[in-house]
Amino acid sequence: MKKIEIHGGKALKGEVTVSGAKNSAVALIPAAIMADSPVVLEGVPDIQDVHSLIEILEIMGAKVSFENNRMEIDPSNVVSIPMPSGKINSLRASYYFMGALLGKFGEAVVGLPGGCFLGPRPIDLHIKGFESLEAEVSNEHGVIYLRTKEEGLKGDRIFMDVVSIGATINVMLAAVKAEGRTIIENAAREPEIIDVATLLNNMGAKIRGAGTDEIRIEGVQELHGCVHSIIPDRIEAGTYLALAAAIGDGMIINNVIYEHIESFIAKLEEMGVKMNISEDSIEVLPSRPLKAVDITTSPYPGFATDLQQPITPLLLCAEGSAEIIDTIYSKRVNHIPELVRMGAEATVEGNMIVVNGPAKLHGVEVVASDLRAGACLVIAGLMAEGKTTIFNVEYILRGYDNIIEKLTSLGATIEMIEEEAE
């Protein structure tokens, strides 16, 4: 069992470099198996989700090497085999193997995905999309079976009832090998969608309109290997920006694409955070007093749901009352009771979080309930006086590359401790 111990209450200073995007990597890696020759991905974050995907690839027959954030995937010997359990169940993004295998082999058997529990995240839209491409889909005891008729997948016009990153990417993966034209309407517009489309186009796909709400795909028969660089992780960037504003004494966040987190930066500016924004880095200057602001999450380019939890400790530094409404995952509130244990004045009222600041936090034992709640508690622990111990750190390691090393380089007193289970 791992836990993180933090001795907080001191200002952090220095530079930190943002890694490649987790939410891109977990889709790009399954996409790579659709090629008939090796694919090289550069800037892959060294996180648990990536290592889980490597295990799945190797079980399927792929050869994978991963070193210094560079991954080479040789999919020439990949076979479509049932994947109903194990790593699939612990990793939500494993559902991208549905679209990738369906496109490559015309069939797939994939267990229903796991990941962080944030409330209902059904895969109905994925299934609707696959069925529109003339795949037959059945759910047998929690395992999804996807099959195509002899003629294979056929392009179609697909309207997404709800804006969904996962369903948009999954349908895109299957559609690149479907006969004819596919149009995805009301598509998600996140930068990660563009990243996946860029990889597929580099592999020989014909995708237009990624990043808009209408994606047009002309099916191709073959995809080949290529070299692709992953975009920076906008959620990691936002996490370190929130940390810098909360407890920084002058911090520079490198490898940031400003346009990807414009709505987040707008909230920081509204709070009174002073920043110098350059082409690919942001310097956060010591900023007090801060003003409380209200936040409502929404699909891109709105305020990202994944940044709702990391910004909460910063709101505890501000003067006044702030309201947070998460329109994407209303159940994303489990970090609040943990912050209250640390001395925060915060409540959950229906689908709204209310935070009152400024608060003086003190170190206690807390439990991370999901990936971004873990990031929230790390920031809170660095702000708090005394020792904070965070349990369930496996969630944090799923999505933050070298977080202990990066924070230590900024002057944080933080360490990962491995204990024998009793």
Which residues define the annotated binding site? 22-23, 92, 121-125, 306, 328
Detail the residues annotated as belonging to a binding site for UDP-N-acetyl-alpha-D-glucosamine: 92, 121-125, 306, 328
Could you tell me if residue 394 is left (phi over 0), alpha (psi between -120 and 50 degrees) or otherwise beta? Answer: alpha
Beta strands in 264-421, from DSSP E residues, in sequence order: 275-277, 281-284, 295-297, 320-326, 345-349, 352-357, 365-367, 386-391, 413-418
Cα–Cα distance for residue pair 173/97, rounded to 1 Å: 9
Detail the residues annotated as belonging to a binding site for phosphoenolpyruvate: 22-23
Rg (CA), the chain: 22
* In the block, residue with structure tokens 């936090």: 361
Q: For residue 98, give the nearest of 133, 70, 66, 63 by alpha carbon.
A: 133
Give the list of residues 6+ apart from residue 68 with CB closer than 8 angstroms, or none. none
**Does the active-site annotation cover 116?**
yes
Start-to-end C-alpha separation, the chain: 9
Partners of 2 in beta bridges: 418
Give the list of residues 6+ apart from residue 279 with CB closer than 8 angstroms, or none. none
* In the block, residue with structure tokens 């954030």: 69
Which residues participate in catalysis according to the annotation?
Answer: 116
